[in-house]
C-alpha cells in the first residue's frame, strides 16, 4: 500500500483489527505465571511494508510461543502521534512492548516510564538516546548499510562527482546512522563532492521536491542516496520528472514493493534491503526471555543485502518486503 496520510490511517485501523484476530492461540505457558504472555508491537508508522514484514516475523514467533500480539502504529512517523499510543498501551499493561521509537529524544522518557512500570521493553529497528532500560535492542547494521550504499554509488560512477543524501528527519536513529555511513565513505573519497543531507519528513512528495530543487541548483549531480523507503520512492519520482534518470544513479535503503518496481524500471540502480522479519522474530524471543526473568541479549545486529536488477529474480527475491503476511 502506498502511504498517504489517508491510506496510513486506513492501514492503522486495518492492522489493529488484523492484530486482534491474529492473537496466537498456542498452549505452551511462556510467562512467569504460566499465563499466555501479552505482547504489544508499536510500529514506527502504520502501512509501511518494512513494519508489515517485521509484523510477519513477530506473528509467527508469537504463535509458536503461544503469546498474544496486539499491533498498533501511528498514522505518521511522528513522536507526537506515537507517544499517546505508548501511554495507552502502558495503561493496558501488556507483559512486553516491542517498539520502533520514532525519535531518539522524544521517545526516551515515555519508554523509560513503561519499563519503570514493570513492562519489558524491546526496541526493534530504531532506538533512543539511552536504551539502558530496554531488555534488548535489535537493529540492522545501519551504518554499514550506508557505507555499502556509497560503495554502490561509486561503482556506478567510478569517475566520482556530486552526491546528495535524502533522509527522513534528524533524530531517527536508523536513518541517521545510514547517513553517517554514507557520509564517511563520500568524504573519504576525493573524487566525490558530498552535497550533504536534506530531510523529507518521510513524505515521498517532499523528497521529490527536494531532489528537483537540488538538481536545479546542481544540475551535474551523479548520485543520490535515499535513506529509507519513502525518501527513495520520492527521490526516484523527482529524478524521473527531471528527465535525469540516465545521469543520476539512485541507491535506496529498504526494499518495499514500490521501490522494487522502480528498480525493475531502471530508475533506481540498487536497494539496501534489511531483514525486518528476523528483527521481529528475535524481538519476540528476547521479550519472552525477559518476561520469564531469563537473561537477554542487550544488543543484536541484523544484516542487510544489496538488491540489484541482476539478483532480483535470484537471491534478492527473498529480501523484498511484504504488503501482508
Q: Say how far apart CA 134 and CA 196 lie, in whole Å.
A: 33
Question: Edge-to-edge strand order for the sheet containing 120-124?
Answer: 68-72, 38-42, 96-99, 120-124, 136-140, 299-302
Shortest distance (Å) from residue 69 CB to ligand T6T? 19
Q: Name the segment binding ligand T6T (CB under 6 A); options: 11-19, 27-35, 224-232, 257-265.
A: 224-232
Does position 150 bind ligand T6T by CB under 6 A? no
Does position 253 bind ligand T6T by CB under 6 A? yes
Shortest distance (Å) from residue 157 CB to ligand T6T? 24
Residue written as cell 540498487? 270
Q: Name the segment binding ligand T6T (CB under 6 A); options: 29-37, 44-52, 55-63, 87-95.
A: 44-52
Shortest distance (Å) from residue 228 CB to ligand T6T? 4
Spatial contact of 52 and 322, defined as CB atoms under 8 Å apart? yes
- Antiparallel, parallel or unpaired: β 305-307 and 270-273: antiparallel
Residue written as cell 523484498? 320
Q: Name the segment binding ligand T6T (CB under 6 A); options: 42-50, 129-137, 157-165, 280-288.
A: 42-50
Question: Which CB, 67 or 177, lies closer to ligand T6T?
Answer: 177
Does position 254 bind ligand T6T by CB under 6 A? yes
Question: Which CB, 186 or 226, lies closer to ligand T6T?
Answer: 226
Does position 286 bind ligand T6T by CB under 6 A? no
Does position 71 bind ligand T6T by CB under 6 A? no
Spatial contact of 309 and 270, defined as CB atoms under 8 Å apart? no
Q: Say how far apart CA 24 and CA 59 lie, in whole Å.
A: 8
Among 11, 12, 47, 50, the residue binding ligand T6T under the rule CB under 6 A is: 50
Does position 176 bind ligand T6T by CB under 6 A? no
The residue length of the chain stands at 325
Among 19, 228, 269, 306, the residue binding ligand T6T under the rule CB under 6 A is: 228
The contact set with ligand T6T (CB under 6 A) reads 44, 48, 50, 125-126, 172, 174, 228-230, 253-254
Amino acid at each position: 500500500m502506498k502511504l498517504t496520510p489517508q491510506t496510513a490511517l486506513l492501514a492503522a485501523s486495518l492492522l489493529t483489527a488484523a492484530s486482534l484476530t491474529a492473537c496466537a492461540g498456542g498452549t505452551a505457558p511462556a510467562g512467569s505465571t504460566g499465563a499466555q504472555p501479552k505482547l504489544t508491537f508499536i510500529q514506527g508508522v502504520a502501512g509501511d511494508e518494512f513494519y508489515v514484514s517485521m509484523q510477519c516475523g513477530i506473528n509467527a514467533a508469537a504463535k509458536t510461543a503461544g503469546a498474544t500480539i496486539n499491533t498498533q502504529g501511528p498514522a505518521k512517523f511522528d513522536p507526537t502521534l506515537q507517544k499517546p499510543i505508548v501511554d495507552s498501551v502502558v495503561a493496558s499493561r501488556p507483559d512486553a512492548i516491542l517498539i520502533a521509537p520514532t525519535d531518539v529524544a522524544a521517545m526516551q522518557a515515555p519508554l523509560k516510564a513503561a519499563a519503570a512500570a514493570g513492562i519489558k521493553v524491546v526496541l526493534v529497528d530504531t532506538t533512543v538516546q539511552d536504551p539502558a532500560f530496554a531488555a534488548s535492542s535489535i537493529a540492522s547494521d545501519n551504518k554499514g548499510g550506508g557505507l555499502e550504499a556509497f560503495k554502490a554509488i561509486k561503482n556506478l560512477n567510478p569517475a566520482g562527482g556530486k552526491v546528495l543524501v535524502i533522509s527522513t528527519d534528524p533524530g531517527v536513529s536508523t536513518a541517521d546512522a545510514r547517513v553517517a555511513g554514507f557520509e564517511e565513505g563520500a568524504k573519504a573519497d576525493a573524487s566525490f563532492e558530498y552535497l550533504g543531507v536534506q530531510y523529507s519528513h518521510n513524505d515521498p512528495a517532499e523528497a521529490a521536491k527536494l531532489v528537483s530543487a537540488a538538481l536545479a541548483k546542481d544540475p551535474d549531480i551523479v548520485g543520490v542516496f535515499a535513506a529509507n523507503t519513502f525518501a527513495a520512492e520520492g527521490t526516484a519520482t523527482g529524478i524521473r520528472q527531471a528527465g535525469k534518470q540516465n545521469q543520476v544513479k539512485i541507491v535506496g535503503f529498504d526494499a518495499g514493493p514500490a521501490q522494487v518496481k522502480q528498480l525493475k524500471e531502471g530508475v533506481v540502480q540498487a536497494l539496501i534491503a534489511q531483514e525486518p522479519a528476523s528483527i521481529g522474530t528475535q524481538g519476540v524471543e528476547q521479550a519472552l526471555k525477559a518476561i520469564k526473568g531469563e537473561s537477554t541479549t542487550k544488543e543484536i545486529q541484523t544484516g542487510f543485502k544489496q538488491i540489484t536488477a541482476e539478483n532480483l529474480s535470484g537471491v534478492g527475491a527473498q529480501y523484498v518486503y511484504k504488503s501482508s503476511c
